[in-house]
Amino acid sequence: MGAGGETVRLAGVNWYGFECDPMVAGGLDLKTVGDICHLIVDLGFNHIRLPYCHQMLVDNPRITNGLAANPVLQGRTAVEVMDEVIAEASRHGLRVVLDNHRSEAGWSAQENGLWYSRRFTENDWLQSLRFMADRYKDNQTVVGIDLRNEPGSPAIDPDQFPKNGGAVWGAPDRLGTRWPRDWAAAAERGGNEVLKVNPNLLIFVEGVRGDPAGPFFDGQCHSYWPGGNLCGVRSKGGRRRAARPIKLRIPGRLVYSVHDYGPDMHAEMPWCQANSTAETAAASRSVWEQTWGFIARQGIAPIYVGEFGTPNGVVQADNSAPGHVTDTDRSSTQAKWFNYLIDYMNELEVSWAYWCLNGDQPLNTGRRAAQPELYGILRSDWSGPASALMEKLVQL
């Protein structure tokens, strides 16, 4: 709700970098912070989802690289650079959702599928949330915190400490366990810690990956995209003996968040396959309705699609089959999925943040520094939109 009680639909973009190895937002070597925020507004977005990692807060290095277009920021700490990004967002009328993306600096989701790691414990995670809530508690630009990016089981790397399989939803942890898995319970602990510091913030809680309650397609239960599976909010399953919604100490602060990607990133998903009956809007919608759509449709809580995206067509996407690069005429399976999702999100009037703003890739393991960001809205020089994809986002 806005200050006047009106409904506000968040329509934004992910601007990543603080969670990566350089620990600085992307693009600041090419454009000023103000130029980038101005471009975000010009493109029609009203907020930024801003990922960070816990290691950035602990190490808080002085940033000397990646700031060529912002000499005034040279030598400031990572947190001070983030302060300036948020201050500039405020000057441009943008809001910010902070995203606790990882424990250690790196790319994508935490490899163990959890909210802690060998180096950084759950207490460290809670401390990180309290720190961010306190630092920006008097800044109305920061409207919420996404407690953790893409928890889920099975883990991306099952050999990562503590090798417990990753996060699950609402399956109670054994008393005294050192390595908890119940993400629903952890999210309540984290959300309530944030609200103790700043009761005005929105608490964004993502789902998990696998769940015995679904989604079901063609009679089988399937894993979902990490963070995107909220079946457990309304259904029992496995060791979860009843539905497990999130309950916070302050009503009205909860926002359920999901991530969703198409066959370019999730090639094995059976509900969106080329040249089959699964390549239909009804097939995809049946799965979205099970995993998160029901929450918006039934008015259980607001839904925020915190990440979704598609190749921008600048270059062929890494490891993708021919035809997975998005077109605007729905001729490829990837394009059909993307259009189906846009239509579904519009129908439910959910809030969202597109992945991603960035025009080029960061200096990070598994990435190709300075090469075009294949899912980015901007061109690699950060001067404007990379493709006609913005025409689809305008529909939202």
| DSSP, res 63 | P
Q: CA dist 286 to 218, 235, 262, 289, 389, Å?
A: 11, 16, 15, 5, 25
Q: Is residue 217 part of a domain?
A: yes
Q: Is residue 1 part of a domain?
A: no
* Active-site residue (options: 111, 150, 206, 373): 150
- Compute the distance between CA of residue 60 and CA of residue 34 in angstroms, rounded to an integer: 23
Q: Is residue 5 part of a domain?
A: no
In terms of C-beta distances under 8 Å and separation of at least 24 residues, what long-range contacts does 219-225 make, across chains too?
220/270, 222/269, 222/270, 222/271, 223/154, 224/287, 224/291, 225/150, 225/259, 225/260, 225/261, 225/265, 225/266
- Specify the number of domains making up the chain: 1
CATH number at 205 reads: 3.20.20.80
Amino acid at site 301: A
Q: Is residue 110 part of a domain?
A: yes
How would residue 394 be classed by pLDDT, with cut points 50, 70 and 90? confident
Ramachandran angles phi, psi of 358, nearest 5°: -50, 135
Contact call for residues 256 and 303 (beta carbons, < 8 A): yes
To the query of whether residue 6 is one of the catalytic residues in this protein, the response is no
Q: Is residue 4 part of a domain?
A: no
DSSP per position, 102-158: ESSS-SSS-TTSSS--SSS-HHHHHHHHHHHHHHTTT-TTEEEEE--S---SS-SST
DSSP per position, 276-327: STTSSHHHHHHHHIIIIIHHHHTTSS-EEEEEEE---SSSPPTTPPTT-S--
What confidence tens digit (pLDDT) does each residue in 20-40 have?
Answer: 999 999 999 999 999 999 999
Q: Is residue 156 part of a domain?
A: yes
* Active-site residue (options: 19, 188, 307, 373): 307
Q: What is the pLDDT of residue 156?
A: 87
Q: Is residue 17 part of a domain?
A: yes
> Is the pLDDT higher at 268 or at 177?
177
How would residue 248 be classed by pLDDT, with cut points 50, 70 and 90? very high
Contact call for residues 257 and 205 (beta carbons, < 8 A): yes
The pTM for the full model equals 0.94
What's the average model confidence in pLDDT over 375-393?
Answer: 84
To the query of whether residue 349 is one of the catalytic residues in this protein, the response is no
Q: Is residue 3 part of a domain?
A: no
Q: What is the pLDDT of residue 277?
A: 63
Q: What's the domain range around 122?
A: 11-394
Paired strand residues for 347: none
